[in-house]
Amino acid sequence: MRKLCMALATVCALTTTTPLLAAERTEFQISPRAGPGVLKLDQFRNVDDDLAEIDTGGLGVSFAVLTPIGLLVEGGTESYGNFDWFNADDEFILRQHYAAIGYQFQLGDGWYIVAKAGRAKWKLTSEEGFLFNDDDVETDVQRGYEYFWELGFGKRVNDVMSLGASARSGSYGFGDAGSVAFVMTFSF
């Protein structure tokens, strides 16, 4: 909660002190995203006790409204999971639906930085792999709501499309989750 308050205070301070290069109009944005992530598990049932960190990959999409003063309101969904061969190893999938608010700082020449804070409704599903498991295969699901932060940058390629990247992190009920994503934004 302290991280979220600090992030919101920083965004508010920057919005009041940064000179604005205002957009000409309000934009509706659709942003598909893809990239690697990491799950750091510390409190999850039915999982090997030695398992602490899992590399993941994922996809997502967000829908946002960008106002002429740089305020960004966004909602989206994404899913990150680890890759396992033929269900031989433990499988983890983190799905989340989220809403975020942020600010887009225009840097000139089409470059911009976006700082966001949001709240996610998440579901982590685990399924034990059959290869190293003598018992019945068990599935476990945990759900919750948590805050996250995201920082991204990009460059407008033309009037409709921007290319960029973002980093997201949050502390969840099972541990921590983070991702780095390639983001392609379409503005209308």
Task: For 84-116, give the DSSP string.
Answer: -STT-S-EEEEEEEEEEEEEEEEEETTEEEEEE
CA 2 to chain centre: 19
Question: Does 18 score more than 50 pLDDT?
Answer: no
- Residue 27, amino acid: E
> Residue 140: helix, strand or coil by DSSP?
strand
* Sequence-separated (6 or more) residues with CB below 8 Å from residue 88: 129, 130, 131
How much is the CA Rg of the chain, to the nearest whole Å? 19
Question: Does 22 score more than 80 pLDDT?
Answer: no
Question: Does 23 score more than 70 pLDDT?
Answer: no
* CA dihedral of residues 28, 110, 31, 141 (deg, nearest 10): -120
Per the prediction, the chain carries an average pLDDT of 84
